């Protein structure tokens, strides 16, 4: 009986199997086509163009490494590279330090899902204003006669306005942290919200203090959220140029700003070199972060 049943099942499965096995791939066909034409090919093109010959007003498809040599010999470009990495690390740390406690509150201590969702929506409020307004709004806030300096002086905490607040690296870090913090909070809060409250109760019942429970249970279980959040923040900060331009008064040059300037002055090969370097850094950062946790276990 069973043998016959199995054989029939197998027969009915094999006949259209070849055709059926391919059917699901049609689902990703539009996505793949889109990505190949508008992502993979342009990236390859960018790598290719970075080896073209650049003269003052022209670019010719004659292969050379001159743009690469110029890039790595120039203090401006190397400086921009280090500034980018420095600002990325500082913003990453700041979004983590501000975002993790927030996520801990939303994901772990607010057990009402509606309230938790409402709080996460609050984090997204900065995105209700346009990017430009959001960045420019920092100026009356951080400026010499801005709100913060007025307040500090009004309270007699400082005698003179602090001018380090605006048009410095600090202001760029403040601006970026505010904008990108939510990308850190969201994934962490999501992971924390998935922790079974019984697990924490079990740990308490076994005599562990809150700090030990945090170190041994909560933090390790939230790590995938931290990594996903860090990837979001990293990718966005590394590719940033607008916040840096608007809040540093063009004093802080990130690789993104270099690319904008080079494209503006039609130096396509240099822009391509900076683009390839930036893409490589992002790839390394994402690969490194993914090594920290096994995201497959969370899917």
Distance between CA 251 and CA 182 in Å, rounded? 27
- DSSP state for residue 125 in the 8-state scheme: G
Please report where in the chains the tokens 């099942």 appear, as a residue.
Answer: 9
Angle between helix axes 169-193 and 219-238 (nearest 10 degrees) is 140
* Region of 42-50, 205-213, 248-256, 263-271 interacting with another protein (CB under 8 A): 205-213
Decide: is 30 part of the binding site for another protein (CB under 8 A): no
* Number of shown-chain residues binding another protein (CB under 8 A): 20
Among 217, 235, 242, 263, binds another protein (CB under 8 A): 217
Which residues share a beta bridge with 289?
none
* 205 lies in the binding site for another protein (CB under 8 A): yes
Instruction: Give the nearest distance from C-beta 295 to another protein in angstroms.
Output: 13
Among residues 97, 199, 280, 290, the one that binds another protein under rule CB under 8 A? 199
Interface with another protein includes 188 (CB under 8 A)?
no
Residue 75 makes contact with another protein by CB under 8 A: no
Binding flag, residue 212, another protein (CB under 8 A): yes
> Using CA of residue 212, residue 218, residue 223, residue 225, what is the dihedral sign?
negative
Q: With contact defined as beta carbons under 8 Å apart, do 187 and 151 qualify?
A: no
Pick from 206, 287, 291, 296: which binds another protein (CB under 8 A)? 206
Q: Can you read off the two tokens belonging to residue 254? A: 């990130």
Helix (H) or strand (E) holding 193: helix 169-193
Check residue 236 for interaction with another protein (CB under 8 A): no
Which of 135, 184, 203, 258: binder of another protein (CB under 8 A)?
203
Structure tokens at 206: 């076994």
Task: Tell me if 141 contacts another protein by CB under 8 A.
Answer: no
Nearest by Cα to 83 from 71, 75, 95 = 75
Q: Tell whether residue 63 is a contact of another protein (CB under 8 A).
A: no
Binding segment for another protein among 2-10, 27-35, 63-71, 204-212 (CB under 8 A)? 204-212
Backbone angles phi, psi at 54, to 5 degrees: -105, 125
Contact 179, 173 (CB under 8 A): no
Residue 299 interacts with another protein (CB under 8 A): yes or no: no
Segment lying near another protein (by CB under 8 A), choices 92-100, 193-201, 235-243, 252-260: 193-201
Cα(299)–Cα(294) distance, rounded to whole angstroms?
A: 10
Q: What three-state secondary structure class fits 54? A: strand
Q: Please select the residue that binds another protein; options are 47, 110, 170, 221, rule is CB under 8 A.
A: 221
Q: Which residues bind another protein (CB under 8 A)?
A: 196, 198-199, 201-209, 211-213, 215-217, 220-221
């Amino acid at each position: 009986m069973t043998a016959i049943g199995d054989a029939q099942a197998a027969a009915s499965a094999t006949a259209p199997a070849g055709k059926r096995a391919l059917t699901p791939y049609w689902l990703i066909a539009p996505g793949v086509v889109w990505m190949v034409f508008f992502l993979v090919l342009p990236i390859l093109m960018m790598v290719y163009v970075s080896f073209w010959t650049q003269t003052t007003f022209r670019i010719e498809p004659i292969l050379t490494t001159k743009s690469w040599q110029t890039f790595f010999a120039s203090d401006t470009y190397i400086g921009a590279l280090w500034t980018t990495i420095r600002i990325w690390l500082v913003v990453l740390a700041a979004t983590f330090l501000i975002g993790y406690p927030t996520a801990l509150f939303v994901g772990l201590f607010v057990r009402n899902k509606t309230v938790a969702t409402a709080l996460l929506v609050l984090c997204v409020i900065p995105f209700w204003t346009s990017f430009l307004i959001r960045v420019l709004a920092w100026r009356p806030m951080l400026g010499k006669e801005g709100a913060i300096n007025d307040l500090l002086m009004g309270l007699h905490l400082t005698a003179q306005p602090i001018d380090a607040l605006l048009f410095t690296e600090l202001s760029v870090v403040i601006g970026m942290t505010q904008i990108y913090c939510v990308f850190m909070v969201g994934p962490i809060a999501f992971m924390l919200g998935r922790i079974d409250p019984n697990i924490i109760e079990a740990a308490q019942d076994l005599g562990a203090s809150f700090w030990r429970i945090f170190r041994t249970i909560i933090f390790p279980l939230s790590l995938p959220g931290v990594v996903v959040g860090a990837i979001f923040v990293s990718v966005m900060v590394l590719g940033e140029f607008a916040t840096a331009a608007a809040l540093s008064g063009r004093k802080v040059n990130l690789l993104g700003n270099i690319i904008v300037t080079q494209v503006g002055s039609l130096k396509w090969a240099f822009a391509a070199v900076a683009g390839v370097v930036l893409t490589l850094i992002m790839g390394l950062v994402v690969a490194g972060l993914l090594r920290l946790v096994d995201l497959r276990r969370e899917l």
